[in-house]
Amino acid sequence: MDERTRYFRRLKRLRGATRRWSVIGGGLTAATAVLTPYAGIGVADAAWAASAGASVALAWWRWSDHRQLAATPAPPAPPPALPGQRLVAAVERFPAGRQVLQEVRRHRNRYAVRGSAVAQAWDRLDRASTALTGLTGRLTGPGEGAALEAAVAEQWLRDLGQRVASVERAFPLTSEDGRAALEQSHESLANQFTEGVTAYERLVAAAASYVAEDGHPVTGQHPALTSLIDATDRLRGLAEGLSELKRPSAPAA
């Protein structure tokens, strides 16, 4: 739900609450004005008067909130969603559809850098990113900060790789005078991208080492493995005991 829709929905709720409490307060006030002189002043009249006053106060508060919200400018309308965008949003609601869209985006980005000087390093970045995705759920504690830094670094690397490919496609359109300077800048960006991918791979390797060491038990064996071996031994002993009970005993000589 966008901010504009939320704004008007809240404004409508406040308007409805103002009308509702105004009607209740007016009815209780009229009942108090009629019944008090008719039956005299008593405990019931005090209850009528208190209810009427509380209803009028609530109506006034709701009207004040409504007037204050109405004086605030409404948020701008969001840009209209294209039919393709609505379809993508519907598909992304399902885990399988989200994975398919991620794979499609990955191939589209890979197609954008095909044949460039960073194509091989881009493939290395894809493999490292896939490996880190499998480790992210197990990076707890200090590893969570490293995962966030890796996500920011990956976004920067992908933008840098596409920038290198875009500059490279402009080589045929560059004059001879500016070709040398453009090639030098392109080479500097490509080297920076390759070094960044190497650093990213080292981070993924360090994350894998952290996950592996975090999974080792403090003692020699994990308690779950020890319980599994004990349960196996118990079941084997029970099976052998049942087999001996059901096996007919040999007749005495």
> pLDDT tens across 1-35, in order?
567 778 778 878 888 888 887 878 777 777 666 66
Range of the domain at 53: 3-36+47-71
Which pLDDT value is given to residue 253?
47
Domain presence at residue 250:
no
Domain presence at residue 51:
yes
Which pLDDT value is given to residue 93?
64
Sign of CA dihedral 77, 82, 88, 93: positive
Same domain, 209 and 146: yes
Q: What span, in angstroms and rounded, lies between the C-alpha atoms of 191 and 205?
A: 21
Residue type, 61: W
Domain presence at residue 227:
no
Same domain, 124 and 211: yes
Same domain, 126 and 56: no
Domain presence at residue 99:
no
Domain presence at residue 102:
no
Lowest-confidence range among 1-15, 93-107, 183-197, 208-222? 93-107
Number of domains in the chain: 2
Same domain, 200 and 117: yes
User: Taking a C-beta distance cutoff of 8 angstroms, is the pair 76, 7 a contact?
Assistant: no
Same domain, 125 and 179: yes
Q: Tens digit of pLDDT for each residue in 75-123?
A: 776 665 545 556 556 655 666 666 665 666 677 777 777 878 888 988 8
Same domain, 59 and 147: no
Domain presence at residue 153:
yes
Domain presence at residue 171:
yes
For the cut 90, the answer to whether the pLDDT of residue 198 exceeds it is: yes
Which pLDDT value is given to residue 18?
81
Q: What span, in angstroms and rounded, lies between the C-alpha atoms of 132 and 207?
A: 8
For the cut 80, the answer to whether the pLDDT of residue 236 exceeds it is: no
Which pLDDT value is given to residue 50?
73
Residue with tokens 């966030």: 148
Domain presence at residue 233:
no
